[in-house]
Structure 1
Amino acid sequence: MKAESGAPLRADARRNRDQIIAAAKTIFVEQGPDAPMEDIARAAAVGVGTLYRRFPDRETLIREVARDNFARVLTEARAALAEEPTAWDALVRFLRFSQELRLSVQLAMLSPQAEAAIACDPLTGEFRRALLGELETVVKNAQAEGALRPDVGAGDVALVFTLLLRQLPNKLDNIESAAERVMGLMLDGLRAQPGSELPGRVLTGEDLLP
């Protein structure tokens, strides 16, 4: 782990950074991207001065939260490809863990400030490109196995999954259970089995990049 300057962080600085990012994720979910920075510092058990030394403004903190989310999902995607017995199993694991990205998607939807901080960040763009590359690989492998329907591409899968990451109605009794149910429906729709013909052309990962 390195600071913005590229220099390695000391153990205590790295611990403070990790605590602040974890607290920010929780507070952003509860209060939204405009939550007071003081609340985040309190939840992280650090002083406000410590928070601002690590993250001088809200945009920097939002950007680092998004980077952390994307990095975690990318690590899990690569692990799924390496460890799962089939490409279909890897795809399921990849998509289930990718719900970590829900916060980043929702932040961008709820706040123009957050959307700009995430969209304009080159490192987040690199993570997104790498993730779509891993998804391209697992989609093609699952199709080669005969497990995934042949008339879809990584772009199709990513777009359908992005819809699941959007904010679910708060009136639902159990949002996580509802998300799992929709995930099950989505995965069933992706399986190689007789179904309706899809309109339009196959979407690739490149179709979703700027």
Structure 2
Amino acid sequence: MTADPETTLRADARRNRDQILAAAKSIFAVSGPEVPMEEIARAAGVGVGTLYRRFPDRDALVRAVAMDNFERVLVDARAIAAEETSPWRALERLLRQSVELQLSIQLAMVSHRALVILKGDPEVRRLRDEILEVVDDFVRGAQAEGKLRPDVGAGDIAILFATLLRQVRAKAPDVAEMAARRCVGIMIDGLSARPGTELPGRPITSHDLDPAEDHA
């Protein structure tokens, strides 16, 4: 039996979209969202015309990547919350686990262009806020356990994680991955509750990261 041409076209379109998103995620994670669209199309194995048919401009592609990653992170965070009885272990596991988390935080909090694109989008904001709610729960629970130092907030953790991973650069991908994992390990060690250097100011909360507010 011959496949329905319309079904085949839909499958091809979906495959092209998935390939473009996968390529954009990989490139954005290394170079940020300002890379040439032609480079993304080349990495995805599609023509530039195909890329622009799926995503009419860079802003649409950045939004699609952010939406896809936020959705994945939210699913992961909720699964961790359901599986772990210790909020500290849940927070530690979330920090260690996914490239999606790294890219989402970079897109949401580090890239100025992405901030401009995403801050007015209600769906992106909803997903971002739901992720931060889960992280807030982990933070409060871990502090109640006595495992997380009491003078940090979810915003501190998000900013530290984003800044740390953005600085990781290496010629070989395996070295970069190893470096990222080592840095996250050092970060987790520094977050654990024990006598240490007193931090200036106050804990940074998830509300301090609200892109809808002007902190300039």
Length-normalised TM-score, structure 2: 0.77
Identity %: 60
Measured after TM superposition, the shift of residue 149 of structure 1 is: 1.9
Change (3 A) 1:163 1:19: same
Change (3 A) 1:125 1:165: farther
Length-normalised TM-score, structure 1: 0.79
More displaced 10-residue stretch of structure 1: 168-177 or 34-43: 168-177
Change (3 A) 1:147 1:55: same
Residue pair 1:99, 1:165 contacting (<8 A) in 2 also: no
Change (3 A) 1:118 1:182: same
Q: Name the residue aligned to 2:62.
A: 62
Q: Name the residue aligned to 1:175.
A: 176
Measured after TM superposition, the shift of residue 190 of structure 1 is: 1.3
Matches of 1:196 and 1:39, distance apart in 2: 45
Measured after TM superposition, the shift of residue 182 of structure 1 is: 1.8
Measured after TM superposition, the shift of residue 180 of structure 1 is: 1.8
Tell me the number of residue pairs that the alignment of Structure 1 and Structure 2 aligns.
202
Residue pair 1:105, 1:165 contacting (<8 A) in 2 also: no
Query: CA offsets per residue over residues 150-206 of structure 1, 9 Å max, x none?
Result: 232222222222221323344799222222222112111111222233332222212
Q: Name the residue aligned to 2:134.
A: 134
Alignment of structure 1 residues 77-96 onto 2, 5 Å? 77-96=77-96
Gaps of 5+ in 1: 1-8
Matches of 1:110 and 1:170, distance apart in 2: 20
Are residue 40 (structure 1) and residue 40 (structure 2) matched? yes
Q: Name the residue aligned to 1:5.
A: none
Matches of 1:156 and 1:109, distance apart in 2: 12
Residue pair 1:76, 1:97 contacting (<8 A) in 2 also: no
Matches of 1:133 and 1:29, distance apart in 2: 24
Matches of 1:109 and 1:199, distance apart in 2: 21
Query: CA offsets per residue over residues 98-141 of structure 1, 9 Å max, x none?
Result: 54344455568997544432344332222221111111111111
Q: Name the residue aligned to 1:163.
A: 163
Change (3 A) 1:111 1:91: closer
Q: Name the residue aligned to 2:4.
A: none
Change (3 A) 1:179 1:30: closer
Q: Name the residue aligned to 1:26.
A: 26
Change (3 A) 1:45 1:196: closer
Q: Name the residue aligned to 1:3.
A: none
Alignment of structure 1 residues 190-209 onto 2, 5 Å? 190-209=191-210
| One-letter identity of the residue aligned with 1:179 | A
Are residue 145 (structure 1) and residue 145 (structure 2) matched? yes
Measured after TM superposition, the shift of residue 28 of structure 1 is: 3.7
Change (3 A) 1:141 1:34: closer
Change (3 A) 1:28 1:158: closer
Matches of 2:154 and 2:30, distance apart in 1: 32
Query: CA offsets per residue over residues 22-49 of structure 1, 9 Å max, x none?
Result: 0122344566534343332333233433
- Aligned alpha-carbon RMSD (Å): 3.0
| One-letter identity of the residue aligned with 2:146 | G
Residue pair 1:106, 1:167 contacting (<8 A) in 2 also: no
Change (3 A) 1:176 1:141: same
